[in-house]
Amino acid sequence: MASGISRRAALGVTAAAAAVAAGTTGGPAHAFAGGGLRGIAALYARQKAKAGGTWHSHIAALDGTGALTTLVADDADHVIHGYSVQKLFVATAVLDKVDRGQLSLGQKLDLPADIILGGSGIYHLHTVWGDDITVANFLTAMLLVSDNTAVRMCGRVVPALEINEILAAKGFTHTRVEPVANPNRFFLGVTTPRETHDLLRRLADKTLLSPASCDFMLGVTRWVNGYHDGVRRNMSSAERSRVATKYGADFNTLGASRHEAGIMFGTDGAPVLTYALFADGLSDLDNYGATHPAVQAHAVLGRAMLDSVTTAANPAAKARHTVTPYRAGG
């Protein structure tokens, strides 16, 4: 059971969880450089001890034959508040309706003032509201800059009970949003590292949703304007574009929570590694920046994980995804 009571009682989006592993290059049975599997596991243990708190994680990769290898399985079935990592799963529910022809990415909804939430995101910064925005618009805001108002927009097109039905139909046992009296609002809810791993794995091999919907989610979460403080901190822009990531942070009665989950891709577009890092009971409650001890641990692990997987072509990969190289302009 999840423990601790979230302070974020205005939106709630529980996420079905489940995460990914992905393909690396051909070559040795385990195509990892440096310390290989043991190197990542040992580094994780050191960073976990240094950051403190209670960690629940799953890290896995595919070798050159397509076989899944678990690098870290640390209390991976623990049910935990996922916070903004859960927005991956809310987006999955919305895109499932798109795939079934009940919505379209181009469908427009108004953005009224009474739906605006503060915290992370961009819509609350506008100071004036009333635009008509597309489903694609608020999904992008939710996945790229973790916009809280976008969660409410999602609830207008997929009510809480329907989100949970979609997640259950996709095989997620523990991940759910928490319904409230208003059927179009919900709390973030809970997930597990293992279910987050499964979601990411299926997103990477494009079986979670239609290939087009998977490409949409991956395109947004891989873009270099997203979150950089954690796993992607110590990377070049080209390296950052090889990582699809989603961060979540809050605090409850146990202490601070700092989570991050995502997928790393090889230079050939094949997925190579998946991580689902959840930690609660942490100190430094009000520090949401790069200096938080758990976020520093994510940065160390991110650099090591990217370095640990080879980047040559992996013919065993079921699916690939590429993004346009970033070019500054304007």
66-70, 101-105, 179-183, 239-243: segment of lowest average pLDDT? 66-70
Give 111's pLDDT tier (boundaries 50, 70, 90). very high
Please check whether residue 166 lies inside any domain of the structure.
yes
Tokens of 19: 């995460």
What's the number of domains the chain is made of? 1
pLDDT level of residue 317 (50, 70, 90 thresholds): confident
Q: What percent of the chain is predicted at pLDDT more than 70?
A: 86
Tens-digit pLDDT profile for residues 211-251:
999 999 999 999 999 999 999 999 999 999 999 999 999 99
115 inside domain: no
- Write phi, then psi, for 215 (nearest 5 degrees): -60, -35
CB 199 within 8 A of CB 276: no
Q: Taking residues 54-73, report their average pLDDT.
A: 88
20 within a domain of the structure (yes/no): no
Q: Which residues contact 168 (CB under 8 A, 6 or more apart)?
A: none
pTM reported for the whole predicted model: 0.88
Q: Which of 218, 322, 189, 226 is nearest to 267 (CA)?
A: 322
Instruction: Answer yes or no: is 121 within a domain.
Output: no
Domain presence at residue 273: yes
Which pLDDT tens digit goes with each residue over 126-185? 999 999 999 999 999 999 999 999 999 999 999 999 999 999 999 999 999 999 999 999
In a domain, 12, yes or no: no
What CATH number should be reported for the domain holding residue 241? 3.40.710.10
In a domain, 200, yes or no: yes
Q: Which regions of the chain does DSSP assign to beta strands (E)?
A: 54-62, 68-74, 80-81, 108-110, 132-134, 176-179, 186-191, 243-252, 255-265, 271-280
> What do you get for the CA distance between the two ends of the chain, in Å?
49
* In a domain? residue 300: yes
Rounded mean pLDDT of the chain?
Answer: 88
Confidence of residue 62 (pLDDT cuts 50, 70, 90): confident
User: Torsion angle, CA of 300/303/304/305, rounded to 10 degrees?
Assistant: 120
Domain range for 234:
36-97+157-308
